[in-house]
Amino acid sequence: MATKSANLCSDELTWDPWAYDAPPDTPRAPVYGAGASQWDAIPASAPVQTEIPERYRRMSADGLERRIAGAKATLGSRLVILGHHYQRDEIIRWADFRGDSFKLSQQAAARKEADYIVFCGVHFMAESADILAGDHQRVILPNLAAGCSMADMADEAQVLSCSRQLGEALGFEPPPVIPVTYMNSSAALKAFCGERGGVVCTSSNATRVLEWAFERGERVLFFPDEHLGRNTGVKLGIADDAMTVWDPRRPLGGNTVDALRRSRLILWRGWCSVHARFTVAQIEQARRDHPGIRVIVHPECRREVVEAADLDGSTELILETISSAAPGSQWAVGTEINMVNRLAAEHPDKQIFCLDPVICPCSTMYRIHPAYLAWVLEALVDGEVLNEIVVADRVKLAARVALARMLALPGRAGRPMTGAGTEAGPCVA
Ligand code: 13P
Ligand code: SF4
């Protein structure tokens, strides 16, 4: 259990993650939990975790460690555990591969020898793994309630409605927009892009992907992260008045037909509650308190925050940059707290801290607690697959097209991004 502190953004962070599970006789509505903003309304269709058996809830940290180690050793090469950088330390230590969502999708595509891919991350990442994995592979998300509030800000019906309205306003032929979805989206939206000449991007390759899209059409619809879209548009030199926001709750997204005609980049109104917390004032404070400090932030932060920082990039880019920095260097980081604290612990020769003084982790990433990992791994040893993520075949085929377009693009070294170990182009300011 987390320790209560005045510095936490919510008292709920002191709860155990199974406080959100649904016992069989007490149906529970899905919730994001601590840290989600009042605007993050969770869709009723979001999965709710059924109750984890009591024996796992009661186990000590040492007991869970022994159970996970034992199950992992028994499963051997039949199992691969993937861990996103935002996972807590007690989870990331078991990951065979750590990475940002791009690198982990490469690993999911490359590890064909494993029967089971246990994804310690969030729902859209496990879905992408299932899309890219072989038919013989089973993908498991240890806690089904580990969603992403940003991914849930665009659903298929809303995007279809947007596409129809854009067609009516701007004409259907040629298609008015090339759709580009951020990796943080449902498989259905990746399929939408695959079927309409569109593509997926991650925070590590958004610039290259948007260039690809603009080679194929004069206008791009980017969803669901307004900020990553705008930050990338700025890097590509798109004028402010050619970027417009689409609010799915308003007719024509809240735009006039003229504004849509002038636009080159239409940005879905969606955001990450964790990265929306970072401010220019925090950066100014860090620079006052630590002269010479470098500020690095994730491109899900607002434009003014990215512009006030020295660098921005994916979690992997943040990790690479700080890991290879000179001893004695100082870093203020604008991304999730588990990753920042781990970087600080792994590099005691550098000063590394989170820009936000209030502790507010990604509440859904945090739901992957060792108890859930022990539970799903021991079930696998017993021949039972729990919490499997299965994308329907029709959706999978179309979504794979959009992901394959991204993976075929050249990375930093000019090679296709497909194989594990190749590099994606960074979004460095
Ligand atoms: P990365 O792809 O940079 O790891 O970002 C994923 C994410 O969800 C950040 O909030
Ligand atoms: Fe989603 Fe934000 Fe969590 Fe990333 S940090 S998984 S964008 S809610």
101 lines ligand 1 (CB under 6 A): yes
pLDDT value at residue 5 = 59
Q: Which two tokens stand for residue 174?
A: 């040629």
83 - beta bridge partners? Answer: 98, 120
Question: Rounded CA gap, 169 and 246, in Å?
Answer: 14
Taken in order of first residue, the domains within the chain and their CATH numbers are 11-150+363-392 (3.40.50.10800), 151-273+395-407 (3.40.50.10800), 279-354 (3.40.50.10800)
The secondary structure of 209-223 as a DSSP string is: HHHHHHTT-S-EEEE
pLDDT digits (tens, 9 = 90+) for 296-345: 999 999 999 999 999 999 999 999 999 999 999 999 999 999 999 999 99
182 - beta bridge partners? Answer: 201
Whether 417 and 406 have beta carbons less than 8 Å apart is answered as yes
Which atom from ligand 2 is nearest to the alpha carbon of 300? 7
What angle (nearest 5°) sits at the alpha carbon of residue 317, between those of residues 2 and 314? 65
pLDDT value at residue 161 = 98
- Going by alpha carbons, the residue nearest to atom 4 of ligand 1 is 100
| 121 SS3 class | coil
Question: Rounded CA gap, 205 and 407, in Å?
Answer: 10
Whether 369 and 16 have beta carbons less than 8 Å apart is answered as yes
- HEC assignment per residue over 190-206: HHHHHHCCCEEECCCCH
Nearest-ligand number for the alpha carbon of 82 = 1
- Measured from the Cβ of residue 74, the count of other Cβ atoms closer than 10 Å reads 13
* Average pLDDT, consecutive stretches of 10 residues, N- to C-terminus, the chain (429 residues): 65 91 89 86 92 97 98 98 98 97 92 96 97 96 97 97 98 96 98 98 97 98 98 98 98 98 98 97 98 98 98 98 98 98 98 96 96 98 98 97 94 50 29
pLDDT value at residue 417 = 53
C-alpha 89 – ligand 2 centre gap (Å): 17
pLDDT value at residue 25 = 85
Which atom from ligand 2 is nearest to the alpha carbon of 32? 8
What average pLDDT is seen over the chain?
93
150 lines ligand 2 (CB under 6 A): yes
Q: The whole model's pTM is what? A: 0.94
Nearest C-alpha neighbor of 182 from the set 206, 162, 159, 161: 206
pLDDT value at residue 26 = 86
C-alpha 80 – ligand 2 centre gap (Å): 23
274 lines ligand 2 (CB under 6 A): yes
Dihedral pair phi/psi, residue 155, rounded to 5° = -110, 170
pLDDT digits (tens, 9 = 90+) for 226-273: 999 999 999 999 999 999 999 999 999 999 999 999 999 999 999 999
- Going by alpha carbons, the residue nearest to atom 3 of ligand 2 is 362
Nearest C-alpha neighbor of 256 from the set 175, 179, 169, 160: 169
pLDDT value at residue 270 = 97
pLDDT value at residue 427 = 27
pLDDT value at residue 75 = 98
Question: Rounded CA gap, 74 and 60, in Å?
Answer: 21
Ligand 1 mutation pick, 40, 85, 101, 423, max ligand atoms within 8 A of CB: 101
CB half-sphere exposure, 85, CA atoms < 13 A: 21
365 lines ligand 2 (CB under 6 A): yes
Nearest C-alpha neighbor of 367 from the set 7, 155, 126: 126
364 lines ligand 1 (CB under 6 A): no
- Please name the amino acid found at residue 72: K
C-alpha 190 – ligand 2 centre gap (Å): 17
pLDDT value at residue 358 = 94
pLDDT value at residue 204 = 96
